[in-house]
Amino acid sequence: MGTRIGTFLLCVWMAFPLVAQPNKNKGVFVDGVVSVVNQKVITHSELWGQSYLMLLQRGGEDALVRTIDEDYLKAVLQFMTMQKLLADLGRKKYDLIADEGNVEKNYKVLSEYLGGKEKAQRLFQRLHLSPELVRAFIRRDNMASRTLAAMRKDDTPVLGTSAQDQTMNLLDSLLANSDITNQPIKLPPSVAQPKKQPKNEKAKTDAP
């Protein structure tokens, strides 16, 4: 049987280990389409931004010592695909609209976690992110979570089916009925690290 990816997709940002191979791609920033999900595109810059944001959410700036490899990007793209499908379904089927109060609340919590508004914005700028894109990710995830709750409420699972299996069945069905085309994944350009001031060290001299 095929791998059941539903639950994995929703918790990939929590479960995926912060281990990656060194990124030697130091080229110029060039964007492009990495996936088309029901005729809506996901760009490389969005994928890279989401990948860095997940690291920041898990470990703050310290998590950026790990670079990003292709396996990690593939997992993040799967997560983004599922979240986009859920959010779009919520708008179309359940007439859900974004809770902007929740978006701003979560954006503020994230900024404080990263050291305050100014430091968070400097981090976002380094990572090809913008406050608008971060808010868009938060908004999408909020919509996806509410949509999944509505789907569970509407669904009548087979007797004896666990909540986890019910969720995976719903997500697998959503994926199976969607049109998804992925392109080869590119690694992000290297992110400039802030220069550290050298420590003042006294010159070493031989004892007389």
- Give strand pairing partners of 125: none
pTM above 0.85, yes or no: no
User: Which residue would you say has higher pLDDT here, 175 or 68?
Assistant: 175
Helix axes 100-113, 131-154, angle to 10 degrees: 120
User: pLDDT, tens digit, for every residue of 155-185?
Assistant: 998 889 999 999 999 999 999 999 999 999 9
Alpha carbon distance 66, 60 (integer Å)? 12
Instruction: Categorize the per-residue pLDDT at 29 as very low, low, confident or very high, splitting at 50, 70 and 90.
Output: low
φ and ψ at 137, to 5 degrees?
Answer: -65, -45
pLDDT at 48 over 70: yes
Instruction: Write the CATH number of the domain with boundaries 28-182.
Output: 1.10.4030.10
Mean pLDDT of all residues belonging to the chain: 83
Do 182 and 18 touch, CB atoms closer than 8 A? Answer: no
User: Which ranges of 60-162 does DSSP label H, i.e. alpha helix?
Assistant: 70-93, 100-113, 117-126, 131-154
Q: Is 100 exposed, middle or buried (0-12, 13-18, 19+ CB in 10 A)?
A: exposed
Of the candidates 47, 34, 37, which has an alpha carbon nearest to the alpha carbon of residue 89? 37
Question: In angstroms, how far apart are the furthest CA atoms of the chain?
Answer: 87
- Give strand pairing partners of 180: 37
- 75 contacts: CB under 8 Å, gap ≥ 6: 12, 16
- Give strand pairing partners of 41: 36
Find the range with the poorest average confidence among 76-85, 138-147, 189-198. Answer: 189-198
pLDDT at 27 over 50: no
Place of tokens 């929740």: 102
Give the residue extent of every domain in the chain. 28-182
pLDDT at 2 over 50: no
Q: What is the pLDDT of residue 67?
A: 72
Q: What is the pLDDT of residue 189?
A: 82
Query: What is the mean pLDDT of the segment spanning 91-106?
Result: 97
Q: Taking phi first (over 0 means left), then psi (-120 to 50 degrees means alpha), and beta for anything else, what does residue 151 get?
A: alpha
